[in-house]
Amino acid sequence: MYEFVKGTVDFVGPEYIVIENNGIGYQISTPNPFIYSSKMNTNVTVYTYHYVREDLMALYGFETREEKKLFTKLLNVSGIGPKGALAILASGEVQQVVSAIESEDESFLVKFPGVGKKTARQMILDLKGKLQDIVPDYFPNLFNADTFPTPAQSTNHALEEAVLALKALGYSDKEVKKISPELRKEQLTTDQYIKKALQRLLK
């Protein structure tokens, strides 16, 4: 129904962002809301998926059409709902997820919140060979866990926001606490804390 929403970033929280367009604020759930923190009060384009169920109507948003396509395909897999699909996309590595499905890497897929062996197997059965339109060129070993820039400034507030976002994605307190000491050693933005945390959680 909505291909995208273009407007000003009005709010960023652990679970969603608000994009203001012509006096209307669109609440949009995204895989990693804090990537928009640096774009507050600036114009952005968010590619959206309008999800409708008897008890739920929501907008889900993505930085690229490729993310949106993968989200849509994941929703067609039995056992994966919108929240689970967002958690899978939160790593920001669409190609990595596609690589895992194409190589039948169940051990990687089960590391996402809510994805057990049965669901991982279902993802492979349903999606393998059907993701060429998302990543035309398949490359293994796309994910380099050490290629993250170090920003000039960061605060504990950024880490706190990252923790909230990780919990919103479905990671447990125990999982988050396990990697927190390592995160505290670095000075990162909220977005980069989330990405760094996801690297460790998915290892």
Tens of pLDDT, residues 99-146? 999 999 999 999 999 899 999 999 999 999 888 878 665 433 333 333
**Lowest-pLDDT range of 63-67, 93-97, 153-157, 172-176:** 153-157
Same domain flag for 47 and 93 = no
Same domain flag for 54 and 70 = no
Does residue 149 lie within any of the structural domains?
no
Nearest C-alpha neighbor of 98 from the set 49, 136, 47, 147: 136
Instruction: Please give the tally of structural domains in the chain.
Output: 3
Rounded Cα–Cα distance for residues 200 and 170 (Å): 15
What are the tokens at 160?
Answer: 């706190």
Same domain flag for 69 and 122 = yes
Does residue 144 lie within any of the structural domains?
no
Query: Among the three residues 62, 91, 108, which one is the final residue of a domain in this structure?
Result: 62
Query: Do 176 and 189 contact (CB within 8 A), yes or no?
Result: no
Query: Do 101 and 127 contact (CB within 8 A), yes or no?
Result: yes
pLDDT value of position 142: 36
Q: Which amino acid is at 110?
A: V
Q: Which residues span the domain enclosing 16?
A: 4-62
Residue 203 has pLDDT above 90, yes or no: no
Query: Among the three residues 40, 62, 84, which one is the final residue of a domain in this structure?
Result: 62
Q: Which helix (H) or strand (E) holds 194?
A: helix 190-201
**pLDDT per position as a tens digit, 45-66:** 999 999 998 888 999 999 999 9
Rounded Cα–Cα distance for residues 176 and 179 (Å): 6
Same domain flag for 44 and 71 = no
pTM: 0.73
Percent of the chain clearing pLDDT 90 (strictly above): 63
CATH number at residue 25: 2.40.50.140
In a 13 Å sphere around the CA of 103, the CA atoms on its Cβ side amount to 15
The tokens 């008897």 sit on which residue? 54
pLDDT value of position 157: 84
